[in-house]
């Protein structure tokens, strides 16, 4: 079975998102594009939420978000239960996010990372499995935090 991901960007990440579709195709990763469809200004939380909810529900294996810095999208996505969105600025961080944190959403900085590096980061993230082992206990603690009722 082929991996399927949810994909979205805001206006700052639109052009990079479109370029990364070729990388996803080359990797044999299926995707649904949740927008945006242009460089016209939009509110990034709307797009991050669509991807995060798709991943959280199990409809998608993982997600890919692209905005100017990667940070806003990651913050918004991490508000959805079950999502562990990571901002990766290089291949090693992408691998570690998967290996150690079982990150299920990758968020990229379109304005600060060259196209060739973006492709390498995407490849590293989506091809790297979670290591489990001692990291499993830590990821479970993240889930415990998210399940607590703070008042």
Residues with a known catalytic role: 67, 100
Query: In whole angstroms, what is the distance from residue 94 CA to residue 128 CA?
Result: 8
Query: In whole angstroms, what is the distance from residue 72 CA to residue 13 CA?
Result: 12
Residue 32 forms beta bridges with which residues? 6
Taking alpha carbons only, the member of 89, 3, 106, 97 closest to residue 48 is 106
Q: Which two tokens stand for residue 108?
A: 């990229």
Q: Provide the 3-class DSSP secondary structure of residue 150.
A: coil
């Amino acid at each position: 079975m082929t991996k399927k991901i949810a994909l979205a960007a805001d206006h700052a990440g639109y052009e990079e998102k479109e370029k990364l579709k070729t990388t996803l195709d080359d990797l044999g990763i299926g995707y649904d594009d949740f927008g945006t469809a242009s460089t016209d200004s939009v509110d990034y939380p709307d797009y991050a939420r669509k991807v995060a909810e798709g991943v959280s529900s199990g409809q998608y294996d993982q997600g890919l978000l692209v905005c100017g810095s990667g940070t806003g999208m990651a913050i918004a996505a991490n508000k959805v239960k079950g999502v562990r969105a990571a901002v990766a600025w290089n291949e090693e961080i992408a691998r570690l996010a998967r290996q150690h944190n079982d990150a299920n959403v990758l968020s990229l900085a379109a304005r600060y990372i060259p196209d060739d590096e973006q492709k390498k980061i995407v490849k590293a993230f989506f091809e790297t499995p979670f290591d489990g082992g001692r990291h499993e206990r830590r990821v479970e603690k993240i889930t415990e935090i998210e399940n607590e009722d703070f008042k």
